[in-house]
């Protein structure tokens, strides 16, 4: 954080809220450069966690999916849809949300593309089925 708030309580609050560093104004430019370099030396970008549910393992970093240890090849859209369902942790995800997350803003909201993608995704994931349609609400990964 780079801010005019320089009291100790302000710095503690800023760091508690998630700031990696806190530099109050006025500051010496060489200190800013040194702090930026120190932050850059920290370990690389965090790797997103692997999601696992119902025998499905989704690795967002490597863009890989497996079911019961067998690789499942998915298109970019199928992967995005499955990732949304897995991140919902059993909650219902609406078709509208899936359209927002997996497709661009130019997609026709009345398209049946989500339904078609779900059918393909279900087929690729195999038996037993894991994606449930919640009538009038959306889709979710079935509970155990």
Q: How far is CA 26 from CA 3, 18, 23, 49, in A?
A: 9, 22, 9, 39
For the chain, domain boundaries? 2-41, 51-141
pTM of the predicted model as reported, rounded to 2 decimal places: 0.67
93 close to 140: Cβ distance less than 8 angstroms: yes
The residue among 6 and 47 whose pLDDT is bigger is 6
pLDDT at position 109 over 90: no
The residue among 17 and 77 whose pLDDT is bigger is 77
Measure the CA–CA gap between 15 and 12, rounded to whole angstroms. 5
**In terms of CATH architecture, what is 51-141?**
Orthogonal Bundle (1.10)
Give the rounded percent of residues in the chain with a pLDDT score beyond 90. Answer: 52
pLDDT at position 144 over 70: no
Predicted pLDDT at 64: 96
Predicted pLDDT at 135: 94
The pLDDT tens digits for 53-102 are 889 999 998 999 999 999 999 999 999 999 999 999 889 999 999 998 89
Q: In sequence order, what DSSP letters do the residues of the chain get, joined into one string?
A: -EES--SHHHHHHHHHTT-S--EESS--HHHHHHHHHHHHHS--PPPPPPEEETTEEEETTTTEEEETTEEE---HHHHHHHHHHHHTTT--B-HHHHHHHHS-TTS-TT-SHHHHHHHHHHHHH-SSP-EEEETTTEEEEPP-
Predicted pLDDT at 38: 84
């Amino acid at each position: 954080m780079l801010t005019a708030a320089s009291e100790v309580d302000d710095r503690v609050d800023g760091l508690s809220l998630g700031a990696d560093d806190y530099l109050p104004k006025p500051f010496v430019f060489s200190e800013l450069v040194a702090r930026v370099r120190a932050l850059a030396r920290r370990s690389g970008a965090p790797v997103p966690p692997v999601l696992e549910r119902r025998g499905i393992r989704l690795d967002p970093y490597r863009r890989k999916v497996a079911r019961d240890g067998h690789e499942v090849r998915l298109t970019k859209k199928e992967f995005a849809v499955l990732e949304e369902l897995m991140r919902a942790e059993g909650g219902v995800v609406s078709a509208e949300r899936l359209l927002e997350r997996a497709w661009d803003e130019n997609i026709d909201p009345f398209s049946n593309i989500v339904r078609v993608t779900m059918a393909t995704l279900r087929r690729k994931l195999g038996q037993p089925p894991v994606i449930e349609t919640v009538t009038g609400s959306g889709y979710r990964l079935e509970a155990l």
